[in-house]
Amino acid sequence: MIRVAPSGEVQGHRAPEPWFTGKIGTVLLYRVNRRPRTNQTLGAEQPSSVMVHISEVLSFGQSVTAGRQTNARDWILGNETISDDQTVLTGQIGWHRSSERTTDKFDPVTKTWIDSVESSEISARAPFIFHSPSRILGVLKHPTFTEKTISLVFETLLRQGEERRDWPSTEWSVEPILDEIDFINWLHSVESVQRVNLVARMPNPDGLDEFGSVWQEMERHKARLLKQIMEAADEREGLIDIEEDERVKAHIAMSANGFGYITAKGIRNGRETKYDQREKVARETTEELGPNWIETAQEVLEVVRRRHARAARRRESQSAERRTLGEPQS
């Protein structure tokens, strides 16, 4: 169980219920990757424990500005807690924005209406957890959160924290996990697939059997990144049997583990439509949530643990199938 200091209430007032009370929550899933820098300085060393490392560089209380200039928000992490067994980091991510508005105010002394400028602030927050055994970051989605912004905020804070170390050693990235079913459904929903862009990034610490030829090629060439772009020769017919291609399957497996991403373009009902994994992050739902922040953080953790357990069972099943067929293991 995660232990978090209880949130205080204003004396004499009942704290308002959190926004998620009574709702089915959506947990967005990302993978936190740390890769050795290509040009490391002498003395740079990556801590063996990812939790020790991440707790050192992930800055709580430091703001990151994200969003378009007219709608920029300051994002901050708070409420940091690490579990006793050093496997779970929990906290809250939120944003706030200050603004001014012109309002009408009555002056009882002069008995006149006057123009007045008042400052106002809006904000939103949600719990998150980082599960070190799986490297999965789970964030409860607030209606105002966008998938790309969440990864940007965490990645920026991690990289800034790494730069503050005496001997920076690591390139941090927070990558969206692919929802395989969602992508396959998208492929089947379009009349023709015009273009598919597959990007694989070097896994850490190593590749898995299901990564197939993509990982083997990256290993052979010592590549940090590998891209494959396919464009249809005939726009009306489009690309054929995308999901049956072994190389595409390997890319999908890597993206589903948070080691890359997929974008695509197709035609549906005569109009162009696009797919972008970075905006279609894998997600899981919770049970109906109560009014307690601590229990809700625990719900997010359980979602991540279930996801991790399913992935482990699937990998074991695939590995057993390969052994039965006599295929070489990676």
Q: Are strands 136-140 and 192-201 parallel, antiparallel or unpaired?
A: unpaired
Q: Is residue 39 helix, strand or coil?
A: coil
pLDDT in tens, 178-188: 999 999 999 99
User: pTM of the full predicted structure?
Assistant: 0.82
pLDDT in tens, 160-181: 999 999 889 999 999 999 999 9
Q: Is residue 111 helix, strand or coil?
A: coil
Query: CA-CA distance, 309 to 115, in Å (whole number)?
Result: 60
Domain ranges of the chain: 19-176+282-310, 178-280
pLDDT in tens, 58-75: 999 999 999 777 778 999
Q: Is 141 exposed, middle or buried (0-12, 13-18, 19+ CB in 10 A)?
A: middle
Q: Is residue 68 helix, strand or coil?
A: coil
